[in-house]
A and B are shown apart, each in its own frame.
Chain A
């Protein structure tokens, strides 16, 4: 578990998914920022290399408006198209194919939503879409719940990583079930990326301390009062949590244990 050669604070601890290494264990979304400029500034502050984007209709009445792609240089960032907003496997597959054609890779963040209120995944449809897209040569990163059995089935279906939620999308509630996340991590061979629910730096740190491979977040940055500063905080929190995990924390005790020697006290 702990490898003393690894120093996560020194850029020697890449996140590896499907044989590709990423310099940061933090993956960030690009939604809900106030401007394209703020989006890019926050991403740079976060240190993230992988960045999610959505696929949507061009507004024909405003087609001369600058596209997000004008600001996000694919040479600088690895763009990961998502299938957000899809409620069926067929729709998600359609969006994934469009994303592949629009981008430079066959990677997809696969979402199949089962319920509008909670945005929780439809795991049956998610499995089906994962199977289809894997067969078509996609590198599939499915957003799922924190259920071990679903995660194992996604891995069997060919998912390149499994992305369980910490809490509902956009909720900022933080990591609600550390036990489930640790179970997933202990049983899966592919990377576990916690996706959704992180609200602030301590949430990110605590999540990384569970031993997961990375975190994907969007609203925690975009909805902060100062997104660029929060992005810096998240960069530090993810690295701190990773380092603490690798360092191996001390055991907890119910009673105090003195840090200073009991011998040598004056009479």
Chain B
């Protein structure tokens, strides 16, 4: 199935959670915040929220800024 991550289309195996998606992208979940279809996925929910076909994710973190 296809999902969109940070504006890019990606293939992802059905049945996985958001935490699995992060692992596949080699992203440390403690360092990021995930928005799924414009809703924030709380950190303690990452392993419970499923990834579904057509989902749109934003994965953000802190960068330098003023």
Q: Which residues of A contact B (CB under 8 A)?
A: 29-33, 39, 52-58, 60, 63-64, 67-70, 72, 79, 81-82, 84, 94, 97-99, 101-103, 169-170, 196, 216-219
- B60 in contact with A58 (CB, 8 Å): yes
Q: How far is the CA of A219 from the CA of B31 in the complex (A)?
A: 26
Measured between beta carbons, the chain B residues less than 8 angstroms from A70 are 31
| Contact with B59, one of A57, A72, A99, A219 (Cβ below 8 angstroms) | A57
| Contact with A60, one of B25, B28, B40, B62 (Cβ below 8 angstroms) | B25
Measured between beta carbons, the chain B residues less than 8 angstroms from A169 are 66
- The 6 A-B pairs of least Cβ separation, nearest first, read A54-B65, A29-B66, A218-B66, A30-B64, A53-B62, A31-B64
Q: Which residues of B contact A (CB under 8 A)?
A: 5-8, 25-28, 31-33, 35, 38, 40, 42-43, 58-66
If over half of A's interface residues share one DSSP class (helix, strand or loop), that class is named, otherwise mixed; here it is mixed
- A68 in contact with B33 (CB, 8 Å): no
| Nearest A residue (CB) for B40 | A101
Q: How far is the CA of A218 from the CA of B65 in the complex (A)?
A: 8
Closest Cβ–Cβ distance, residue B29 to chain A (whole Å):
11
Closest Cβ–Cβ distance, residue B65 to chain A (whole Å):
3
Measured between beta carbons, the chain A residues less than 8 angstroms from B27 are 58, 63
Q: How far is the CA of A86 from the CA of B34 in the complex (A)?
A: 19
- B63 in contact with A68 (CB, 8 Å): yes
- B66 in contact with A67 (CB, 8 Å): no
- A67 in contact with B62 (CB, 8 Å): yes
- B65 in contact with A98 (CB, 8 Å): no
Q: How far is the CA of A78 from the CA of B16 in the complex (A)?
A: 35
Closest Cβ–Cβ distance, residue B26 to chain A (whole Å):
5
Residue contacts A-B, CB under 8 angstroms, 19 given: A31-B64, A53-B64, A54-B65, A55-B61, A56-B63, A60-B6, A60-B8, A60-B59, A68-B61, A68-B63, A69-B61, A70-B31, A82-B66, A98-B33, A98-B60, A101-B42, A102-B60, A216-B66, A218-B65
- B66 in contact with A52 (CB, 8 Å): yes
Q: How far is the CA of A84 from the CA of B63 in the complex (A)?
A: 11
Q: How far is the CA of A70 from the CA of B62 in the complex (A)?
A: 10
Assess A57 versus B6: contact at CB under 8 Å? Given A52-B66, A63-B26: yes
